[in-house]
Structure 1
Amino acid sequence: MDDESPGLGLNLPEQPQKTAYDTNYRVLARKYRPQTFAELIGQDAMVTTLGNAIERGRIAHAFLLTGVRGVGKTSTARLVAKALNCIGPDGQGGPTIDPCGVCEPCRAIAEGRHIDVIEMDAASHTGVDDVREIIEAVRYAAVSARYKIYIIDEVHMLSKSAFNALLKTLEEPPAHVKFLFATTEVGKVPVTVLSRCQRFDLRRIPAEKLADHFARVAKAESVEVEDEALLAIARAAEGSARDGLSILDQAIAHGHGVVTAEQVRDMLGQADRGRVRRLLETLLGGDTKATLGQLDEAHALGIEPASLFRGLMESLHAVTRVKAGAAEDLLQSVEERQAAAELAGRLGWANLHRLWQLLLKGLQDVTVAPDPHEAATMALLRLIHAAEMPDPTQLAALLAGGVVPTAGQAAREPASAPPKAKAELPADFVSFVETIERNGKQLMGVQLRDHIGLVSYAPGELALKPLRPLGPDFVRDLATAAKEATGQSWIVRLAEEGAAPSLHQQEAMAEERMRAAVLEEPSVQALIDQFPDATLESIDRKES
């Protein structure tokens, strides 16, 4: 009876044919993890220091690797483990900054199966019991390697008691033990631990190096990627090789054989750089209708308001760098550099700083508002209207120059009118008081400014309300002084009906309004945030 006889009860289902999907796919971030220090991009200073230490036999017992995500902390730790345990192709080699990659220790460490290289994730092993296991195990010599190496990732997540338990062993470990710690938040690592480690700060990888790296990966994967798409991915990676490779992986899956910049922007919800630049120029031109039209167009295309504001800030930052004379950004096109130079010539430093603060405030608004598009609309309108206002320095100068605010105006009319001929009667009460003072009646002027509220005024006639007791001859003396100053008779009467505040009170209120306007300026708010004890003081400028 054959195996397929129903009587045996061993009928097996038909086995499916193997397909290409049976092969386990490895994401690019894992597939192209650095296997040598030469492949570790952007960390030349650290590699040089490590190489010198290994060459001279000055190898620390504990290393702390810190930096933002994806810059190569864990990869560096594994490379150090290989460098310290490599025995060379002939089995006779020693520690080297260039591990061979073919000996058993190198291959076992690369594959994560070496018994003497122990990796622990502190995020899931935070307790003191986990550290006690390490303390117990370090007493025993390495099984097959030169050094027993402990790699603890995200070490800052260990509990306080776990750190305390580790301190003594970390300070005086056996000669055959090395500790390699990695963390993204070095500020959370106790100082007592930091003092026992040799620290390496891994830098963010420059965008141009990331773009070159991604181009090599794309070529190895036989995928065509536009140069502009590579630059867009490098910018979005923010210095992280792993993040960039993940984005590239997604872009390859998103595309159809060719990865374009437009596909990358659509995938990431980013705004086109040309679109952002045109929006910034429209904003600076004060065209409200066109600005809102471009914003609505971006919204219809699915561009996130937060991404749009980040793009505006990036463009403004480029303009500021050009104005400051910084080196050219190699990731910018010639068109972008020319546009930045043109705007840098048009905008002053005060405007640049104010625009940055307003964009930063707008970005905060769109990230917390229930409707980000509405918040973006209000933020851009605020930016357009604020662009018409003088900067705080100009406001302070206007205030010091003795100007009186009027509703709806950023600049104000001067309070001191030029002297009038005596045959020409003052047009308003302020001019009347100034005319009295110019005629040598300063004491009378003080009374009119500080102790009087105006009820009504017409050339040749005025009604006043005393706010403080006045002398019995005040009305007669004022009428005489007015006739002497203008050459014509005046009717002066005192009234009890409602009067305006005194001129002194009006000046104080105007100064307070101006003070409030200055304090509301984003650039001034930023200064106060940086210097909480700072105060805003007025400076009286007197003619010599």
Structure 2
Amino acid sequence: MLTDTDNAAAVAEGFARKYRPRRFEDVVGQGSVVTFIANLIRRGKRRRDLLLHGSVGSGKTSLARIYGLALNCDAPQMSGSPCGGCASCLDPNRHFVEYDVPGSGGDQESIRRFLSTVTLEAPFGKVRVFFFDEAHRLDAFASDILLKRVEERNDNTVYVFATTEIERIRPALTSRLIALEVLPLGVDDAVSLLKRTADSEGIDIAPDALMMLAGLRQGYPRDLLTGLELAVDDDGGVITLDRVKEIFDIELDSLLAYLNAVAGADVEEQLRSIRLWRVSAAEKIRWIQAFLTSLYYNEILRVRLIVDAAIDSIGDAERHALIAAFERRLGTERVNFRSAWKRFLLFWQRAAEVPADDAAMNLQVALFHELVAEIAGSSAGVPSLPDQPVYDHRPVGNRLSQRSFSWLPPSLPVDADDECFTTADDVGTIINSASFLIQRYEKFFDLSVRFLPRYRGTPSVEDGTAIISDFCGGLVDLIRRGAGGGARVALMRVLEGEDASVRGYILAGLVSDQPVEISYLRQALVEWAKDYAEQYAGSYDVSVLASPSTKRAALRWHWEQVRNLCAGIDVSIVDADPRTGQPKPLHELVGLARSQLRLPQPLRISRISLSDEINAGAIAQASDYGMRPLFAFDEREWDVLASGWELHEYVERRRMIAKRKLEIRRTVLEFGQGTSLQIEAEAQLRLWWGDDPLRRARSRLGWWSR
């Protein structure tokens, strides 16, 4: 509860302070983080040391304060929020001690002096909460002091750290804390926050202005409220789209002029519009990416999608005119327009990966002009590319990040007309990726979805692939919104040809590197998938299956569904059976009966697609510290493929990686980061560790010991 003095100060300091959340229910768009912390209160005010990480203005301090209040509240609400009326709630700083590391010092002497001047013990029944803001500014010695405090704290003390750069926090300290990521708000949540605040203040703001403001202020609550305050008209009039553009210097005319010049093959106008565009070269590339992506989804695929709030403000007339101009330029009678547009997206995706200055930007303009000219002049048209979600749907200011997953080509290129069946390499990719899911995340697939064409030749391969790809993209977006970044979805997709159409088999599993509760997301995942499937009942028979709830049954179900993805294998493929020393059909070795096999037809697109959580890149990343994953398929250990040995390997991997990180950390402490002696010592460690997963020391015997 705020006093009159507090209210006056809040008004003077602006909307960000005035509307700072004081209950868990007031926090917008941080579902998993709020649920986790609120559950600590609901389950008996459990004391946990936390590490809140996220960008400036994302709400870390507010969450820490609410947690501190709730721990000391005399009568917390059913939701876990503080009551707001007891003595502790009326004096929020009584048991909450905040330390601003940059302002007060992050060296060991400053930390020692601070700890010597504060009361560490709280009164009986209360909890002293120590909050260290911008904790990445703590030096190594100060971190070690606090590490000891965290390790030796009593039950009436809690430590909460907040940082914008979690990678700079010492690993030893991080390992003792529960890390929770506070993410930017999505467009819907940002609009909701702005609308609620505007209504409370009696501010009249046009819907399109609200949408643009939601995107421009990067999705961080403090920036959003500050942005709304800046946009308020001094005369009390309506906040219009034009006013928001004027206040924040948003100029889209150059973007439209450039792309219209490309569509019109006007090189001189392309260079002129780029030269007059008053943003950096990198920002120009991001704007072009965002607009091309928005056009791809909204105008070409006809899927409503807000890629960026500012981009979304470009009217239908301008969008339709630009699409029509490109159609005329490319010649739709000769060119697959959708595939051509995907080449545009891939071009600018690669351009964004190269450091850009004005000279480099002019080169990109010339290269893009040549690409469009090449497509327009090609009598052979554009080779068809697999439909794939390319970009992140979440706006980050006026920037567009790459999506958290990408579809990869199969292990071997699809080139020949008779490439119908799943190959041995395909089977290895499927089984190894499913095994890696368990080794890396201790998770199984939660959902199995099958798209089977209802009629011969309908839908077409292109349309069917687009439907299945959009379904996969929707799953990712659902999890991102529901988990607030705390959980992701591992996806595996297999496509097969069938009577001039395509059938699809999808497995999805929720994964997380953080201690978030995802059981409610799993149910939401199943319900959403069933609702989505009904949209295509006229084209596809869609079945949605959920895994059992018990661990043993879920393991068995996991491998049944994985084997089903391999059922398009050619019966003539054989491999060695170690028990007999004789060749045996591969489908039998992996546990498939002849009656379970399918007879797919040729398909000239990528058959197997994996999300970033389980693809080759993820496996390579997980191989650091000499910890290359172990795969029973590669070792021809057929009898243990579905035994669940990966659950033990998950524990062994975590233990060994932590140990090896500590060993490298010791070389840094002894010789200094990046010195020649440190680099040599680390190289010796890695040489000693080796890279053979079979020879790695483990606490138990298993098939790898044979």
TM value normalised by structure 2:
0.45
Paired residues of 1:116 and 1:143 also in contact (CA < 8 A): no
2:142 corresponds in structure 1 to 162
Task: Name whichever of 194-203 and 23-32 sits farther off.
Answer: 23-32
How much does 1:338 deviate? 6.1
**In the alignment, which of 266, 277, 288 is matched to residue 246 of structure 2?**
266
* 1:283-302 deviation digits (Å, cap 9, x = unpaired): 24422244356557x65xx6
* 1:163-193 deviation digits (Å, cap 9, x = unpaired): 0111121112011101111111111111111
How does 1:93-242 map onto structure 2 within 5 Å? 97-109=80-92, 114-124=93-103, 125-133=105-113, 135-136=115-116, 140-143=120-123, 146-242=126-222
* 1:365-393 deviation digits (Å, cap 9, x = unpaired): 14xx7xxxxx86665345324543579xx
How much does 1:281 deviate? 3.7
How much does 1:197 deviate? 0.8
1:80 corresponds in structure 2 to 67
Residue identity in the other structure for 1:225: I
Pair 1:266–1:255, CA change in 2 (3 A): farther
* 1:315-355 deviation digits (Å, cap 9, x = unpaired): 12324556996963145468288679877636243342113
Question: d(CA) in 2 for partners of 1:313 and 1:389?
Answer: 20
How much does 1:231 deviate? 1.2
Pair 1:191–1:33, CA change in 2 (3 A): same
* 1:439-482 deviation digits (Å, cap 9, x = unpaired): xxxxxxxxxxxxxxxxxxxxxxxxxxxxxxxxxxxxxxxxxxxx
Task: Name whichever of 175-184 and 195-204 sits farther off.
Answer: 195-204
Pair 1:266–1:360, CA change in 2 (3 A): farther
**In the alignment, which of 260, 265, 286 is matched to residue 286 of structure 1?**
265
* 1:413-453 deviation digits (Å, cap 9, x = unpaired): xxxxxxxxxxxxxxxxxxxxxxxxxxxxxxxxxxxxxxxxx
Pair 1:187–1:306, CA change in 2 (3 A): closer
How much does 1:156 deviate? 1.0
How much does 1:159 deviate? 0.7
1:247 corresponds in structure 2 to 227
> Is 2:22 aligned against 1:35?
yes
How does 1:242-391 map onto structure 2 within 5 Å? 242-252=222-232, 257-272=237-252, 276-277=255-256, 279-292=258-271, 294-295=273-274, 299=277, 308-319=284-295, 321=297, 328-330=304-306, 332=312, 335=316, 345=338, 347-358=340-351, 364-366=356-358, 379-389=364-374
2:41 corresponds in structure 1 to 54
Question: d(CA) in 2 for partners of 1:341 and 1:387?
Answer: 14
Paired residues of 2:21 and 2:62 also in contact (CA < 8 A): yes
Residue identity in the other structure for 1:103: C
Paired residues of 1:85 and 1:94 also in contact (CA < 8 A): no
Question: d(CA) in 1 for partners of 2:303 and 2:57?
Answer: 27
Question: d(CA) in 1 for partners of 2:235 and 2:371?
Answer: 43
2:453 corresponds in structure 1 to none
Question: d(CA) in 2 for partners of 1:41 and 1:83?
Answer: 18
Residue identity in the other structure for 1:115: R
1:426 corresponds in structure 2 to none
Task: Name whichever of 312-321 and 121-130 sits farther off.
Answer: 312-321
How does 1:377-526 map onto structure 2 within 5 Å? 379-389=364-374
Question: d(CA) in 2 for partners of 1:381 and 1:262?
Answer: 33
Paired residues of 1:64 and 1:181 also in contact (CA < 8 A): yes
Question: d(CA) in 1 for partners of 2:79 and 2:48?
Answer: 16
Question: d(CA) in 2 for partners of 1:148 and 1:277?
Answer: 56
2:12 corresponds in structure 1 to 25
Pair 1:102–1:139, CA change in 2 (3 A): closer
1:491 corresponds in structure 2 to none
- Report the number of matched residues: 355
Could you say which structure has the greater relative contact order, defined with CA pairs below 8 angstroms and 6 or more residues apart?
2
Pair 1:177–1:355, CA change in 2 (3 A): closer
Unmatched segments (≥5 aa) in structure 2:
1-7, 327-336, 380-619, 621-706
Paired residues of 2:129 and 2:158 also in contact (CA < 8 A): yes
Residue identity in the other structure for 1:27: G
Paired residues of 2:130 and 2:159 also in contact (CA < 8 A): yes
Paired residues of 1:277 and 1:315 also in contact (CA < 8 A): no
TM value normalised by structure 1:
0.57
How much does 1:225 deviate? 1.2
* 1:397-416 deviation digits (Å, cap 9, x = unpaired): xxxxxxxxxxxxxxxxxxxx
Query: What is the DSSP-based 3-state SS (H/G/I as helix, E as strand, rest coil) of the residue aligned with 1:328?
Result: coil
Pair 1:258–1:139, CA change in 2 (3 A): closer
* 1:25-74 deviation digits (Å, cap 9, x = unpaired): 22111111111111100111112222222222372431111112222101
Question: d(CA) in 2 for partners of 1:381 and 1:123?
Answer: 46
Pair 1:140–1:262, CA change in 2 (3 A): closer
Paired residues of 1:305 and 1:376 also in contact (CA < 8 A): yes
Paired residues of 1:99 and 1:106 also in contact (CA < 8 A): yes
Query: What is the DSSP-based 3-state SS (H/G/I as helix, E as strand, rest coil) of the residue aligned with 2:373?
Result: coil
**In the alignment, which of 45, 58, 65 is matched to residue 32 of structure 2?**
45
* 1:108-162 deviation digits (Å, cap 9, x = unpaired): 21xxxx2321101111220112322454467742258711110111111101100
Query: What is the DSSP-based 3-state SS (H/G/I as helix, E as strand, rest coil) of the residue aligned with 1:347?
Result: helix
How much does 1:196 deviate? 0.7
Paired residues of 1:223 and 1:258 also in contact (CA < 8 A): yes
Query: What is the DSSP-based 3-state SS (H/G/I as helix, E as strand, rest coil) of the residue aligned with 1:356?
Result: helix
Residue identity in the other structure for 1:313: Q
Paired residues of 1:315 and 1:340 also in contact (CA < 8 A): no
Pair 1:340–1:123, CA change in 2 (3 A): farther
TM-align CA RMSD: 3.8
Question: d(CA) in 1 for partners of 2:37 and 2:188?
Answer: 25
Pair 1:341–1:173, CA change in 2 (3 A): farther
Question: d(CA) in 1 for partners of 2:321 and 2:59?
Answer: 36
Residue identity in the other structure for 1:352: L
Query: Of the two, which has the highest radius of gyration?
Result: 1
Residue identity in the other structure for 1:279: Y
How much does 1:275 deviate? 6.0
Pair 1:388–1:253, CA change in 2 (3 A): same
1:9 corresponds in structure 2 to none
Paired residues of 2:108 and 2:139 also in contact (CA < 8 A): yes
Question: d(CA) in 1 for partners of 2:77 and 2:260?
Answer: 62
